[in-house]
Each structure stands twice: as structure tokens, then as C-alpha cells.
Amino acid sequence: MHKIMRFYNQNRKAIWGFIIFVAFLIIILQLLNYFAKRDNEKNLNSVNNIKNNTVQYNDINLESEKSALSGEKISESQKEEIKTIDKFFSYCNEENLQDAYNLLTEECKEEMYITEETFKESYYKQILNGQKKNISVENWTDNIFKVRITDDYLSSGKYSAGNTIQDYITVEKDDNKEYKLNINGYIRRTNPNKEVEHKDIKIKAVEKNIYMDYTTYVFEITNNSYRTILLDELKNIDSMYIQDDNKVKYPSYTHELSLGELQINSGEKRKVKIKYYSKYSSAKRITNIVFSKVILDYESYSSLRDKSSYGNYYTFEIGV
């Protein structure tokens, strides 16, 4: 006992220094364990929240939780719209083309795929190449989604660099409140039902179909005059155009039209479809459709050797 006391007295500072050091280490370790436990609980709660709030998809990958244009977080209704896109590509990957086709809007069917066979040949085989694909989706704006379609290298065993197809898909609700799709860059249809009339000639805009890269209008032309008319000579793309509220003009695809399509005989009533160089923009508002050089007497015009001497033109302008 005497030796122990003597050792303690001789090494008192070192002993207490060691005790304080060990106590300090214990306190530090306890603090570290406490903070680690709290961080783990926080991370676990975060993971659980993500699992609870994130929609799970089968055959597509969601690139971002935010819209590409607005930067806003996608809404719950947009997540439901993405589910329909997921369902569509799941059907395609399973070669269940009937159910995939039934997810298209009636307007999309009428415009692009009038039958299931047309859909198979023009979309499934041409766009999807009749194979299982990897699909990634990003909200572009509102109910329009940008879709990237790439080969499923794991199932095909083939790799092809740069073999990516981009599509824009719009999700709409039908009359039964069910989600349906407009695919292959088709956005939507509207019915302007606006018209203009001059000397027994009536031009009515009855249908508008909007695509990502262009816009088409269907016109109902009624010619109750006693002369054949011609809507345009097709010599200048700027003579038939649509115009927005900023006075920007978008000319027609005159190269896709023929004089026969634009010739309306006396007493005739028929529809004419015209495409315009007007890409989709949510901020664009078309205000006018202009036929600036309608020939009111096509017989007289045709008889002239020098067509430049003809002067019986009229400008039809439809406010939409």
C-alpha cells in the first residue's frame, strides 16, 4: 500500500492527465455516436419520404422532377400523366399493340394512325423498330413530355452509338376523364370555326392541328360565284400565311400543294388542308389567317399568256 501511495505521489500529474485524457476521449466518442445516430435517423426519414412521395414506373425512367422549361417541380397530376406514358411503352415493349393503340386520343388516330395496322407500321416499326426500348421522360411544359427512345442493349445484345430517337408526347383527358396520348410530335386539335366571305365566296377555318414542328389548318371553301376560283398561284410561299399577335408571319408549305387542290369550281363546296411553318410554342397566339392573292376568275387567268397582266385578285383574312 505504501508503495502504491508513493508511486501515486510521484506520478500524480501524469496519472490525472491520463484520466482526464481518457474521460475526454469517452465524451468525444459519445458525442460522435450521438451525431452519427441523428444523421442516420435523418437520412432514413429522408429515404422513407422519397419512397412515399416518388411515383414508381415500370418501363420508363424519369429524368428530372422538374419541368425543362419552367424549372417548376412536376405536379401530382403530371405524375399521373407520366404513368400513362409508362403504360403505353410497357404495352409496346410487350408487343401488346392493341392496348397501346387504345391509349391514343381519337384526334391522334384520325390525324396519324387511322387503324391499328397503321400504328404498327408507322410508329411501332418505324420509331420503335419493333423492338424493346429504353425510355426516358422529362416534362417539357404543362402536359407535354419530351421522350428519349434508345435501344435496350441488354435484351438485344447490340450497341449502336447515337441511335436515339426523340419524341414529344402530349397527355390529354378524353370525355370519360381517362388519360390518352398524342404521340410523334402531335400536340392537339382545336376547332376555330371562323370564316370570312366576299362576293359569294366563303372561306371557313374549321380545324387546326398543332404539331411540335408545324401547324395545319383545314378550310371549308364554298364558291357560290359564277366563276372558278384559285386560292393561290403557288409562286410565292409568302402569299398564304398565318400571323401571330406579334405580327410574325408563318408561310405555308406551298411545295406540298397542287393547283388542283386549290381550285374551287363554281357551285362547289369542299375542304382543303394547308400546312404552315409554325412550330409549337405555348406563348404563341395566332390571330390571322391570310390568303393574300386569291384569283377570282381562274378561267380568265388561265387564258392569259402573260399571267402578270392579270389583276382580279382578292385578299381573304380570317381573324382567329
Coil vs helix vs strand at 261: helix
Coil vs helix vs strand at 148: strand
Residue 274, pLDDT above cutoff 70: yes
Task: Calculate what percentage of the chain has a pLDDT beyond 90.
Answer: 66
Give residue 72's pLDDT.
86
Write the DSSP symbol of residue 125.
T
Residue 44, pLDDT above cutoff 50: no
Q: How does DSSP assign 177-219, residue by residue?
A: S-EEEE-TTEEEEE---EEEEETTEEEEEEEEEEESS-EEEEE
Q: Are 208 and 188 in contact (CB under 8 A)?
A: no
Measured between alpha carbons, how far is 79 from 65 in angstroms, rounded to an integer? 9
Give residue 284's pLDDT.
93
Per-residue pLDDT, averaged over 288-314, amounts to 95
Q: Are 68 and 74 in contact (CB under 8 A)?
A: no
Q: Are 159 and 153 in contact (CB under 8 A)?
A: yes
Give residue 312's pLDDT.
95
Q: State CA 133 to chain mean position distance.
A: 19
Per-residue pLDDT, averaged over 12-38, amounts to 64
The model carries a pTM of 0.78
Residue 50, pLDDT above cutoff 50: no
Residue 160, pLDDT above cutoff 60: no
Number of other residues whose CB lies within 10 A of the CB of residue 251: 15
Identify the band that residue 247 occupies on the pLDDT scale cut at 50, 70 and 90: very high
Ramachandran sector of residue 296 (left: φ over 0; alpha: ψ -120 to 50; beta: rest): alpha
Instruction: Give me 274's grid cell.
Output: 394547308
Residue 292 phi, psi dihedral angles, 5° rounding: -85, -10
Q: State CA 320 to chain mean position distance.
A: 24
Write the DSSP symbol of residue 252.
B
What's the Rg (C-alpha) of the chain? 34
